[in-house]
Structure formats: structure tokens, C-alpha cells
Structure 1
Amino acid sequence: MRTPTSVAGEHLTDSVANARADARAQGDRTSEHMPYVPASTSPHGPPGVDPSLLTWAETVAPGGYTHRLVARGTRLRFDDPTGEACAHLVVLNAREPGERLNVADTGKIPWQAYLGAGHPLLSGDGRVLATIVADTSGRHDAFCGTSTDAWVLERYGDARPEGPSPSGRALLLKAAARHGLDGRDLPPSVSFFQGVRVDPDGGLAWQGSAGPGASIELLAELPLVVLVANVPHPLDRRPAYTVGPLRVHAWRARPTGPGDERFGATPELRRAYLNTIDYAEAAGL
């Protein structure tokens, strides 16, 4: 591990001119885990998507987090390149953040608690915040939420957000703060790439991942604040804090409409999409 002294020794900042030159020298440095700006420069762009259409591209570090405000109709893709990512996701209506992900309704309205392609992410106001439109993983969870400081401290001995084993809750709080939100605004999250199933006796069984290379894509049905923490699943009983990098890309598409098969898949879904469209049109979105 590098000491503060050795890190300081790598930089020459003894004058304004040297400090400026040193700062500018960092401009072209890259990292394995970083946002790509502009997004079109991502080395991991989704297949079949014109790089010039990308509006967000980032590789989230293990134990890291990210956040973004995205427009209605944005398509978001999450990739798990190593089979060890676990993306804990919260979405909120960007115009009115009091409207946010409701995990109970997300399971109730489609009559299905297991997340997969075609599954809507519902708010408590009966509107669809986002729809899962593609999924090659099938290993997700809408039961457990994310890890807490108390759980991580007991499990790994260190829950500091800047430490080696941050909790998902702490990282989501940091992401929320970037949008003027706090703990009262954070509902239970869903998580992608680490599956959970209900046993016959009612217990919850962790399934792990589907392996390297899985992806899931969401479609933003309203303008969203997207918060993501990439940390181990709470039911992951491996002794080490095990999580891999998470890739995120987004590009402009169009929200779900009456011509889409999923729009009228059930009477409940049709009503939820109609509620969403009615809200969006009234707001001029």
C-alpha cells in the first residue's frame, strides 16, 4: 500500500505553475473503473448501438456506486463482465422524487415477484418508472434490498463508505446526496445479477450469478434519478467481500406505448402504462 508521503512524492505542486502543469498532466489518465466522457469513447459499448448515441458510459468499481439523471425513453444496459457484479438499484421520478420505486407493487402488479424481461418497476402511485426490456441473466432479487452498515460490520468488520467493504445502503446514500436527497428518500432497492428464490418452506435462498457476460436492459418510462451501488448481495455467505465490476451504458430510445406488446400484456399493466403516459403528457414530457 502506498503511503501519503509516497503519493505526495508523485506530484510537483510547489508553485502555481507546477501545480497547474501537474493537474493538466492527470487529464489523460485512465482507470479500469471510470466514467467515459464523452460516452461515445467507451471501450465496452453495447453491441449494435451506435457509439454516438450513448448518453452515459461507465465502469463501476467493485464496492463502488454511480448515479445519473436520465430522460424519459432512455434505455439503460447493465453488464456483468466477470459474473461477480451485484447492482443494487433505486429509481425515482426526477421531477417529483417523492414518487419512487415501490418493491411491493413491482411484484404485485404483474403478479410475479421474480424480475425478468417484460417486468415493470412500479412506483407507489401506480405508474411505471422503468421496464426491464431485455435480460440474459435471470438472477435478480426483489426481496432482500441491499446491505446495511450493521450487517457489513458484523460480516466483514469494516462498513466505512470509503473503506474496503462499504454497505450498499451507505453508497446509495452518497449517490442520493448528489441529487439533494437523503435517507428518507431511499426505498428498498432491487438487485441484479445475484439471484434469490423462495424455498418451499418460505425461506430465501441465494442462487449466485448466471456467470460472466450477463446483461440486463431497462427502459425509463419517466425522467429518472438512477442510483446504483455495486456491492455483495446480503445473502452472499462467502467469507470475502466478493464483487466484480459493473458496466453501465445508456442511450436514447422511446418509452413504452400502445403499440408495444407489453403495454397490454395484462389489464393491470395496461392501467399502469396508461397512468404513466397520462402523467407524462400532462407534464409535457
Structure 2
Amino acid sequence: MQLKESPLTLASASARYTVAAGEPFVLEIKQGQTLRMVDLEGNQAIDALFFNRHDTAEHYSAPDTMLRQGGIYLTTGSVLVSSEGRPMLRIVADTCGRHDTLGGACSCESNTVRYALQKKHMHSCRDNFLTALQQADIGLTKRDLFPNINFFMNVPVTPAGDLKFEDGVSAPGKYVEMYAEMDVWMLISNCPQLNNPCNGYNPTPVEFLLWD
């Protein structure tokens, strides 16, 4: 963990958005802008994907990012690396301290396998991603989905190599801030998961702020 406060003030932000509990969102971030994601009520996971806005075939790459960092968690100083090996965004402030790269996005299939057959039709992050792509109409489809980042989510690895979905390490008002190294689309699912403690079994709203 590398905790670091931001020097930026709310009054100087150029844009501010609130995303309701369990909802999708698409945000355009320009090179040179700084994005802050705020866990308003605490213990809320934000699933995120990133695409080069001018060539969406280039996207966030989990393996390249982990290789560059030499670890599986993201915090201050971590660089989000693209499928072309280029920096997309850099974490410049973080009051939470750890963000997951392995847990992936919940889906109707994973809800069924992990929990119960009757959970199949529950709302999921994969559904959110598909809804967001359809609403935004930016030329992406389900073929363009890939392993995502789970901001504020706590997914420790056991000594046996298994993943565990645990209570979050975040709290009300905690945030992570990133500087954009290129123009990107950010695809968001404010996670609706109710079957494990990643959202405290109670999904809540989150906030996004941009500085030019």
C-alpha cells in the first residue's frame, strides 16, 4: 500500500458525476486530465475497463500491467499498461491503498457457479458493461470485453493459490486518482453484486471527478 492524498480541490474540478448503486457508466478522459473515483459510502467495488479512444483495439491489459508493477495489486505509482505495452493511466493519489486485478467481473454464469442456480438472473457487471456499450454507441461490442480492474475491491490470494472475495479495505470518502497518459474511454460497472462481501452486500453510489 502506498497511501497518498491529492492536492486537487473539489472547487477546481471541471466535471463531476455520481453513478447510482449497481449502474453502468461510460466516461471520456482526455490526455492530461486527472480522474478521481470516490467510494462515497465505503466498501463499494468499481469494475473498470479502458480503451484507447482513437484505436479501441488497444485496451487495458491486466497481464502487462501486473508484469510492469511486479505484483497483482494497484496503488499510488502503479501504471495501467495497454495491450500495446504503452502507459494508459498512472495512479497519482490513493487513500484506499489496494485495488484488484484478478477478480474479474461478475456475470450470470459466475453467479450461478459460485452461488446457486436461482442467482443466474441477478444483475451483474458483465450485463452493465454490455448495457453501457450499447448506450454509448462507441463501436464496441461484447467481443471487446476483457479482464478488468476492480477498484476498491479486496481479493486476497490464499497460500493454495485460490482467490477469496473479502470485505473491502475502503471506507466512506476514500478515493483513487489517475492521470491520463492518452485519450481513453473508461467503461464502468458500479458493481451490483449482492452475494459476496465485495460491496458489503449493499451496493452504494460512487462519484467521478475530472480536472483539466
TM class by shorter chain equals 0.7 to 0.9
Give secondary structure in 1 for the equivalent of 2:130: helix
Give the AA of the match of 1:115.
L
User: CA 1:75/1:113 → structure 2, altered by over 3 Å: closer, same or farther?
Assistant: same
User: CA 1:57/1:158 → structure 2, altered by over 3 Å: closer, same or farther?
Assistant: farther
Instruction: Work out the percentage of aligned pairs sharing the same amino acid.
Output: 30
User: CA 1:159/1:171 → structure 2, altered by over 3 Å: closer, same or farther?
Assistant: farther
Contact 2:19 2:207 in 1 (8 A): yes
Query: Partner of 1:18 in structure 2?
Result: none
CA-CA distance at 1:235 after TM superposition: 8.0
Give the AA of the match of 1:192.
F
1:115 to 2:74 alignment:
yes
Query: Partner of 1:270 in structure 2?
Result: none
CA-CA distance at 1:211 after TM superposition: 2.1
Q: Give the TM-score taking structure 2 as reference length.
A: 0.85
Query: Partner of 1:248 in structure 2?
Result: 208
Q: 1:170 aligns with which of 106, 109, 127?
A: 127
Give secondary structure in 2 for the equivalent of 1:91: strand
CA-CA distance at 1:131 after TM superposition: 0.9
Contact 1:152 1:166 in 2 (8 A): no
Give secondary structure in 1 for the equivalent of 2:203: coil
User: CA 1:234/1:138 → structure 2, altered by over 3 Å: closer, same or farther?
Assistant: farther
User: CA 1:93/1:49 → structure 2, altered by over 3 Å: closer, same or farther?
Assistant: same
Give the AA of the match of 2:25.
T
CA-CA distance at 1:65 after TM superposition: 1.3
Q: How many residues align?
A: 202
Q: Give the TM-score taking structure 1 as reference length.
A: 0.64
Give secondary structure in 2 for the equivalent of 1:171: helix
Give the AA of the match of 2:208.
V
Give the AA of the match of 2:155.
V
Unaligned runs of 5+ in 2: 1-5
1:147 to 2:106 alignment:
yes
User: CA 1:233/1:208 → structure 2, altered by over 3 Å: closer, same or farther?
Assistant: farther
Contact 2:61 2:81 in 1 (8 A): yes
Unaligned runs of 5+ in 1: 1-45, 253-285
CA-CA distance at 1:138 after TM superposition: 2.1
Contact 2:194 2:201 in 1 (8 A): no
Q: 1:103 aligns with which of 62, 65, 80?
A: 62
Query: Partner of 1:189 in structure 2?
Result: 148
Give secondary structure in 1 for the equivalent of 2:41: coil
CA-CA distance at 1:220 after TM superposition: 1.0
CA-CA distance at 1:53 after TM superposition: 4.2
Paired residues for 1:30-45 under 5 Å:
none
Contact 1:64 1:229 in 2 (8 A): yes
Query: Partner of 2:11 in structure 1?
Result: 51
Contact 1:139 1:207 in 2 (8 A): no
Give the AA of the match of 2:127.
A
Give the AA of the match of 1:236.
N
